[in-house]
Amino acid sequence: MNKFLFGKRALYMAAAFTLLGGMGNAVNVMAEQSEGDAGLIEQPLVLEDKLNGLNGYLNDNAEIKYFSFTAIRGQNVMFRDVRQSKTRSLGVAYEYKDGGLWKSLPGDGVRIFDNLQSGQEIIIRVFKRPNSNTVLRSYDFRFGSAPYHATADLIRSDAQGLPLYAGIFQAFREINWSIHIHDSTGHPLEGAKASIEVGVAKKIDLYTAANGRAAATIALPACEGSMVSRSFSTGNGTSQRWWNLRYNPGRLVAKLEDDDRGYQWNPGAIDSTFGHICKQWLLY
């Protein structure tokens, strides 16, 4: 009898241990799944080999969006937040992945990633800023190859052939201008932003095409002129004529988008004197 009870008790204990072991395995599996889920991130949006402009909205306060850019040639990479209003608080935050850590990106400024290896990937994410007192969840930023070298040229104006009395550059009503931008490896950069402002004309923003080039025609308004040039002549002999110009002095300013490092430009085409010629009249 005792032998029977002992055998029966051993059978019950074995069954109990088996059951507990199964429960333990189940707990371990659940723990592994939880750890795996915690490490998962949404598949990032893979960006093109250029300087990309991205804007949109987070659907709710919990959403996180990821973006990936690969420095194919090992070129410098730029992140820049684009804030439409400096007076409104930023509702989102940006971070980049550095190994197993997420590190902050500037919410109002530029971050240049340099000394990269060819094919190195940079992942960033945007999310609702913790403890933000605004309901805004919009984002607007630039991410991709960083502009490094720019050549800006005043190709043609409608005052060709006139003496440069009004400024290093001068025009009556029209200027044709172009720019060529490369990344740090010398590769033409698509999507780079530049601007040109001439005299009283409205500033024009340009974005480079796949060949790294952009061009614009700047139209100048009619004017009266506050300054009068020295007299100058055209022609020779019996065909010689003397003229005066009335003009407004100003500046021709060409810029790349803000950066906390110096860009390389060709000399003399960044911020120069400009004369807006209003009238030209014959003296004799």
71, 78 Cβ separation under 8 angstroms: no
7, 14 Cβ separation under 8 angstroms: no
Identify the structural domains of the chain with CATH numbers, from first to last.
45-145 (2.60.120.380), 149-282 (2.60.40)
Dist CA 142 CA 206 (whole Å): 15
Q: In which band, very low, low, confident or very high, does the pLDDT at 2 lie, cut at 50, 70 and 90?
A: very low
- Span 149-174, average pLDDT: 80
User: Do β-strands 64-71 and 45-46 pair in parallel, antiparallel, or remain unpaired?
Assistant: parallel
Other beta carbons within 10 Å of 31: 10
122, 137 Cβ separation under 8 angstroms: no
Dist CA 166 CA 229 (whole Å): 7
248, 274 Cβ separation under 8 angstroms: no
- Span 92-110, average pLDDT: 91
**Mean per-residue pLDDT of the chain:** 80
Q: In which band, very low, low, confident or very high, does the pLDDT at 213 lie, cut at 50, 70 and 90?
A: very high
pLDDT at 27: 37
Dist CA 159 CA 146 (whole Å): 36
pTM beyond 0.85? no
Residue with the larger pLDDT of the pair 86 and 10: 86
Q: Which residues contact 57 (CB under 8 A, 6 or more apart)?
A: 137, 138, 139
Give the three-state DSSP class for 21. helix
pLDDT at 195: 87
Q: Element (H or E) spanning 102, and its range?
A: strand 101-104
Q: Element (H or E) spanning 53, and its range?
A: strand 51-57
pLDDT at 3: 45
